[in-house]
Structure formats: C-alpha cells, structure tokens
Amino acid sequence: MKKKIALLTIALACLSCLPARGQVQTDAGSAKKENEATAADAQTAKMPLKLTVADSRLVFEATGAWKSVKPKSRMLAHEIQIPKVEGDDANGRLTIMGAGGSIDANIKRWEGQFTQPDGAATQAKTKELTIDEMKVTIVDVSGTFTQTMGGPFAGGKKVESADQRMLAAIVQTPQSGNYFIKLVGPEATVKANEAEFKKMIMGAKLNKTK
C-alpha cells in the first residue's frame, strides 16, 4: 500500500511540472507567428527594386539588398545606397539621371574626377553594347576620387577619397535622350556589387508602348 502511495505521489509531482494545455498552444502559436513575421521580413528584403525613368519608358531592376534613398540633388531621378563591405568606411552610391552632352565629353569629365597615385593621367575602360535596341556605353574608372559637395555644379567644398572606383553606364534612349547610371564608392564595395550592377544594366528594358 505504501508503495502505491509513493508512486502516486511521484506521478502527481511530475504532472504539476507540465505547462497547461492552453499555455502550450499559446507558446506554439506565438512562435509560429514570430517565424512567419521573420520569413516575411526576409522576403521583403529580397524583393528587387523597380526603377523607372523617362516617363516610365526606361525600366531597371536592382537587387533588393540595395536601399532606395532620397536623392541629394533634384537633378537625380533615383539614388540608391549600396551597403559597404567589411573594412570599408563608407557605403557606395548609385545614381540615375538624364543629362546632355556627348558620350566622350562625359567620359572625359569623369576621368577628370580621378587622380592616380603615380601622377599618371586617368584612363577609363570603356565598352559599347546594345541592350534592348539601345546603345549603352559601360565605363570603369578608379583612383582617388574628387567629389564636389552638393554636386558638380554647386561650387561646394571638394573632398578627396582614395581607393575609389566608378562603374557607369550611359544608356541612349531613342525618344528621351541619354541616361547616366553611376555607382561610386570604395573599391572593395564596388567590386562586391559589380555583378549586380552589370545585371541591372543588362536587364534594362525599353517600354515601346509609351
């Protein structure tokens, strides 16, 4: 008899340690909602950026790892923040704008914004492509970048940054003129995002119904 009482006492003690049935269901439900919210946030972060210019005639799609921010200049149609890689002290900056001037003149201007440690003249690498019936010039230039605060025509203070790189594309549209897409930033950060930049440019679409 004493043995049965002892076993019953132990069983009751174990049952008292278990959470109530409703509590188990509540905890499970909370965990499920938290997991679903985390998955939704991750999915949102991966959604590509849709960028349109030229009255929606020209469309780009960029990786969701980049962040669209308010343009620092009214001349810009879009400005994108490119997350820096470990070891770099600044994010990259991608801008899209429409502008005039010849292709060669603009490339020369960009070359003039870079200086080389040995004092040699800066020489950009260029490549011409045709993307969705549009002529596109790819420009790649690096060195010490001189940036005019407030924009190239604002007459602001000039700031020099070493070990910088610019990847740019000049897209010639048939109806809306030329558009410049420029990614500028620390060399390592630009290199880490080079494939995504080229994917964005190669995927440019011309909306022929507009």
Query: Domain check: are 190 and 122 in the same one?
Result: yes
Band (pLDDT 50/70/90 cuts) for residue 12 is: very low
Number of domains in the chain: 2
Residues 126 and 167 in one domain: yes
The Cα–Cα gap between 179 and 170 comes to 6
Structure pTM? 0.75
pLDDT above 80: residue 169: yes
Check whether 175 has a pLDDT greater than 50.
yes
The pLDDT assigned to 1 comes to 52
Which structural domain, as residue segments, surrounds residue 24? 2-45
63 and 113 housed in the same domain? yes
> DSSP assignment, residue 54?
T
Better-scored residue on pLDDT, 23 or 90: 90
Please report the pLDDT score of residue 27 as a whole number.
Answer: 56
Same domain, 169 and 66: yes
State whether 16 and 68 are in the same domain. no
Which residues have a Cβ under 8 Å from the Cβ of 149 and sit 6 or more positions away? 156, 157, 158, 159
If asked whether residues 35 and 58 sit together in one domain, one would say no
